[in-house]
């Protein structure tokens, strides 16, 4: 079972990955935490947008290829290669923070990569409103995230909704983080696991 967890900044992807990995005795793969461009990007987005996204794309390609070659029975992945392109890179391009030339180069690499790796058996999308995202970002207290603009988060949410509703064509499980607090209410995890078991049994 290969399950990927998608969602905006602060939606709870890492927390859910940890919980489900423990529940299933699975192997977890997390987003590269040491992107050398991240701090620079939040200080000057237009200067560092392309470098940031290329680094994320390269690390995601390597991670996906590596994890699918291990033979592990159950795998949970925190964020996907699809989000890198359809959410973050596309948003930076639309905002004028990544040039059309850079974006075209990026998408060529992305399209080549996605032809070489399989889709997740199930994609979990954590849907969350801006107040929920802001609250969780503040709670985890990462210094480089403290100045993220709410308008930026809102644009990302719009991108996520468009991607989920119009582009992604794999099996999908949507969790509403505004109402389903799986940290406070363990029964929600039971429900999620039941849904995952049903969806992966249909393979």
The 10s digit of each residue's pLDDT in 105-129 is 999 999 998 888 889 999 999 999 9
First-to-last CA distance in the chain? 10
Asked whether the beta carbons of 89 and 53 are under 8 A apart, the reply is yes
What is the per-residue pLDDT for 147? 67
At 105 the three-state DSSP class reads: helix
Integer Cα distance of 68 and 141 in angstroms: 32
What is the per-residue pLDDT for 65? 86
Q: What's the rounded mean pLDDT across residues 165-171?
A: 94
Is 78 marked active-site? Answer: yes
- Element holding 27 (H helix, E strand): strand 27-29
If phi > 0 it is left, if psi is from -120 to 50 it is alpha, else beta; for residue 177 that is: alpha
What is the per-residue pLDDT for 38? 86
Look at residue 69 and tell me whether its pLDDT is greater than 90.
no
> Alpha-carbon torsion 48, 92, 130, 162, what sign?
negative
Position 144 confidence tier, pLDDT thresholds 50, 70, 90: low
Integer Cα distance of 128 and 178 in angstroms: 6
CB-based contacts of 197, cutoff 8 Å, min separation 6 = none
Integer Cα distance of 175 and 10 in angstroms: 14
> How many other CB atoms are found less than 10 A from the CB of residue 179?
9
Q: With pLDDT > 70 as the criterion, what percentage of the chain qualifies?
A: 96
Asked whether the beta carbons of 89 and 106 are under 8 A apart, the reply is yes
What is the per-residue pLDDT for 203? 55
| Torsion angle in degrees (nearest 10) through CA of 139, 141, 144, 146 | 50
Position 146 confidence tier, pLDDT thresholds 50, 70, 90: low
What is the per-residue pLDDT for 52? 93
Q: In this predicted model, what pLDDT tens digit does every residue of 26-36 receive, in sequence order?
A: 999 988 778 89
What is the per-residue pLDDT for 143? 65
Mean pLDDT of the chain: 90
Core vs surface per residue 107-142: b (16+ CB within 10 A) or e: eeebeebbeeeeebbbbbbbbbeeebbbebbeeeee
CA 33 to chain centre: 13
Catalytic site residue from 44, 78, 102, 180: 78
Give alpha helix (H) positions in the chain: 13-24, 38-43, 45-68, 81-83, 90-94, 100-114, 130-140, 150-162, 186-201
Look at residue 184 and tell me whether its pLDDT is greater than 90.
no
The domains located in the chain, with CATH, are 2-201 (3.40.50.300)
């Amino acid at each position: 079972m290969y399950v990927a967890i998608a969602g905006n900044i602060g939606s709870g992807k890492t927390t859910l990955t940890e919980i489900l990995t423990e529940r299933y005795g699975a192997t977890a793969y997390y987003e590269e935490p040491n992107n050398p461009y991240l701090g620079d990007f939040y200080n000057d987005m237009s200067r560092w947008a392309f470098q940031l996204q290329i680094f994320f794309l390269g690390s995601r390609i390597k991670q996906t290829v590596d994890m699918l070659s291990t033979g592990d029975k159950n795998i949970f992945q925190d964020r996907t290669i699809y989000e890198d392109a359809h959410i973050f890179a596309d948003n930076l391009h639309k905002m004028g923070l990544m040039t059309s030339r850079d974006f075209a180069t990026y998408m060529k690499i992305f399209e080549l990569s996605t032809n070489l790796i399989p889709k997740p058996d199930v994609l979990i999308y954590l849907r969350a409103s801006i107040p929920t995202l802001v609250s969780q970002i503040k709670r985890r207290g990462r210094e480089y995230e403290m100045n993220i603009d709410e308008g930026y988060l809102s644009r990302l949410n719009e991108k996520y909704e468009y991607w989920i509703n119009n582009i992604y064509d794999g099996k999908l499980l949507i969790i509403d983080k505004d109402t389903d607090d799986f940290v406070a209410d363990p029964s929600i995890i039971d429900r999620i696991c039941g849904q995952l078991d049903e969806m992966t049994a249909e393979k």
